[in-house]
Amino acid sequence: MRRVLSTLLIIAATTALAVVPASAQRWVQDLPPVAQGYADLRSPFKTLTDKTWPVGAWRDGENQFHSTKSYFTVDLKPLRGKRIHDVHAYTYETAVTDCAKPRSVELWQTEVAEQPTWARAPKELSRLEGTVSGECLGRLSWDISAALTRAVATGAEKATFALRMASHRQLDVGFGRRYAALSVQAGVNTPPSAATDPRVNGKPCDGREHLVGREPALHAQVTDSDPAPGFQIRYVVTDVAEPAKRHEGIATHSDGTYYLPTGFIEHGHTYEWTAQGEDGADKGVPSPPCRFTTDLAAPATAPVVTSADFPQTGAGFPGTITFDAGGDPDVVAFDYNGQATGRVAADQPGGKATITVVVPSSGDKVLDVRSVDRVGHVSNATRFRFQVRPTHVHVFELPVDHPMLGQTYAYTFTSFEPDVTEYVYSVNNGPEITVPAPCDRCSAAVDIRVTSSHSTSVSVRARTAAGHLTEAGHSYLSTHPSWPFVQGDRQEIRIFPPEALDIAEYLYRVNGATEELTVAADANGQAAVQIDFGDHPFPNVEVRGRTADGLLTQSIQHYVD
């Protein structure tokens, strides 16, 4: 039974359009419409629009005859630079004139036409195959992958599709239908970039030999503009001499570095590797081949170590020590530690190296030396024992065993090394002071004041014209006792100055308290103080003196009854 389109049963679709399932390897890209409209035989020079899109013949409310085709134009620019896996067009029926009539709607790709009319209809290029789900109000989809892949390949920016009735039923009102707007979705993927800048242990593959001493870190630069998961870099490593020995590994972490597993590489073999980005759907261009050669063995022989300078060379003066690889071509450097630490290159593979060391103190010394190959493997150590001659400065003081606090004493510095121009000394580890040597191998005299109530230490080195500093000489003297004299009881404590010191004030603590109190000394250097000892079981006071120029005496503890 036929019914005019104005009285069609119009049912709103309650089911969303089907979409291409997204996977971890691709994105579903909606192609936005840039134009849509329908052409009508009754208005042959107009492009018309409506809320739904009429297809085929129908009559309006005034029983006027219409025959229409609906056109949809989509933007293809979102597909540029991407691999198109599939593209589908979707719509659903919103109204049917006669459900008993077989569905005869067709989807055609046409020439691009954003303002199509019946009189100026775009040329129809190809009919597209589709599928239907549902009964009278069905859902329709068409695979338009090939059509859009060709269009993008030719540089087209847009594509137009016509939803029309089969030609022999275009004028039969019994077949007319209405549709929702056409939706076009593409399953696309951007392949990973070409792998570039291959590196072995951070060094570029620029044609130079890569020698490695252990499983190396491989790296190539690869990016993937798609934010979907699944991106990784595949590394393929092959033994050049035995291609069957092959390893593949995957780097999925952010910097793309791959670490070869332990045990794969063998000593003396050369390997070639490439890196290639992949995202589960596409692969990028692999990196240029890069090679590395393995050296897993340490030098077989320890170096020979000799010196023409020691033991003649004294402490603080430069002397040379020579390392000899004995012609072992695997050796390119030497490691040494002990009296000096470092690495020095051999003059040629298997050759020699000479270092200059300055040992600050005299006596028996040790230097451990190892041969080093190009990848850093080291041989067993050669232990070189040598003597360093004493060069210390002789320090002479006035014949006093215990100098007095605050007094000044004469010290004499003497060095028997040649070309000494000055002496450098410090008192009680304080700042260094320099005094000139009057002549070569001459002594220098200095006055040193005793400022510590405990001891006076002096350290002296001689400096030569060449700038070398000798071994240090030392003097250590304990200071003469300098504590004040204390007497008294709970009522009053009297304090008397130590010998030969002009005391300006006394500092005292009561019963071991943290706080230190002060009392001024009188003109005779004495002081009297009344102290409340409280109920402390062992009442006591600890006292020390301070001179006018700030010197502090030793302290003394006095217990009262």
Chunked mean pLDDT (size 10), the chain, 561 residues: 34 32 62 96 97 96 97 95 93 96 96 96 96 94 96 96 97 97 93 94 91 95 80 96 96 87 95 94 93 96 96 97 97 97 98 97 97 96 98 88 93 95 97 94 93 96 97 95 96 94 97 96 97 94 97 97 84
φ/ψ of 288, rounded to 5, equals -60, 145
pTM above 0.85, yes or no: no
Q: What is the DSSP letter of 525?
A: S
Q: What is the pLDDT of residue 24?
A: 42
Q: What is the pLDDT of residue 64?
A: 97
Strands (E) across 97-245 are located at 105-110, 124-128, 130-133, 139-143, 158-165, 177-179, 183-189, 196-200, 203-204, 211-212, 217-221, 232-239
Q: What is the pLDDT of residue 12?
A: 32
Contact 490, 561 (CB under 8 A): yes
Q: What is the pLDDT of residue 530?
A: 96
Contact 53, 161 (CB under 8 A): no
CA distance 174 to 4: 8
Q: What is the DSSP letter of 149?
A: H
CA distance 245 to 215: 15
CB atoms < 10 A from the CB of 553, how many? 24
Residue type, 14: T
Report the alpha-carbon angle 469-470-475, nearest 5: 115
Q: What is the pLDDT of residue 14?
A: 30
Contacts made by residues 489-493, CB under 8 angstroms, sequence distance 24+: 489/560, 489/561, 490/531, 490/533, 490/539, 490/560, 490/561, 491/530, 492/528, 492/529, 492/530, 493/528, 493/529, 493/530, 493/531, 493/541, 493/558, 493/560
Contact 91, 179 (CB under 8 A): yes
Q: What is the pLDDT of residue 20?
A: 35
Q: What is the pLDDT of residue 11?
A: 32
Q: Is 532 left (phi over 0), alpha (psi -120 to 50) or beta?
A: beta
Q: What is the pLDDT of residue 477?
A: 94
